[in-house]
Amino acid sequence: MTSPPSPPAETRQRIWHRVYNSLLKHAQPDSRFHHDFLSFTPDFHGSSAAVARLVQLPCYASAATILATPDNSLEELRYRALKDGKKLLIGTYRLRRGFVLLSPQRLGEAELRTASWLDGMERLGVGRHISLAELREEGVKVDLCVMGGLAFNTQGVTIWEGAGLLEVQWALLQDVKVLEGRVPVVAVAHACQVVDEAEMGFEKIKPEKAGEVQCDYVVTPEKTFEVQDAVKPSSGIDFDAVDQGALENIPPLQELKGIRMMESIMKDAGFATDEKKKEAPTAEEQAGIDMVERIMKGFKDSASSAKEKTKDLLQTQG
């Protein structure tokens, strides 16, 4: 008698355990986390060849701004994108310090390699910490997402994500209209990280989790898997589903919650929200606008404080 099919969560874990044993042979250990792949996404032998394939995709050629997850496996991609004149939006480790925007126009040729390092992008004068409000105010639009990860199937479903938090970043940026649901997503992985569940004796895993982002392409050093009709979330953050620990540890979530609260207050109070409105605001509307601006200034000051702490730390280490 055969055993019943494993639940999807258990299937994902069993697949990851098999991938892990293979990945150990190809991954490059991290200087801090060694082979603790749940704490970081490793670079791997041949990642440059995967990036060489990725940059041949039309969606890369047409992209002006790329959202890239903070993964070791994407260092070469970050360097190549900057060298090609593309802006990079990168979440800091587990989004603890929000997002960093890298603009190649502000960097010299010698700084591009430093900017591609996760430990280099936050150095003074390299990357710029940027809030959700600033991204929206400055009209930043993401044209392409590139992610690392620990395990994928051939249909672009992330079986085991790792520390990149793409789904959280996607929802945050979609919420503030910086990213649209049609934006293509490309995963970079070693061949051993891309699996066919049927060959392993499992049922196919489909993108059925809430907020799950299916990749349009999975690129390895040897092959490009193209996915038709990839499934993407159509809504932003659902705060009813956000646990308190995530809210306490991810500043952009706190910022978005503040933005939502103020927008709700202004809407309920009847304040003007139409950007095309020509008339000057009333005294009550101006009071609401001033309140939002003070809150947004608080978020910007928090980002500046984080930058100064990083600067002080680097000076101490130097």
For the chain, the domains span 8-226, 239-317
Measured CA to CA, the distance from residue 89 to residue 82 in angstroms comes to 11
> Residue 1's pLDDT is what?
38
Q: Specify the pTM.
A: 0.82
Stretch among 42-46, 207-211, 265-269 having the lowest mean pLDDT: 265-269
Burial tier of 311 (Cβ tally within 10 Å: 0-12, 13-18, 19+):
middle
Assigned superfamily of 8-226 = NagB/RpiA/CoA transferase-like (3.40.50.10420)
Confidence of residue 314 (pLDDT cuts 50, 70, 90): very low
Residues in the chain, overall count: 318
Q: Beta strands 217-219 and 185-188: pairing type?
A: parallel
Coil, helix or strand at residue 151: strand
Answer yes or no: is pLDDT of 128 > 60: yes
**What percentage of the chain has pLDDT greater than the value 70?**
82
> Residue 269's pLDDT is what?
73
> Residue 302's pLDDT is what?
59
User: Please, where are the H alpha helices in the chain?
Assistant: 8-23, 47-54, 58-62, 75-83, 112-116, 132-137, 166-175, 244-249, 251-268, 283-317
Confidence of residue 305 (pLDDT cuts 50, 70, 90): low
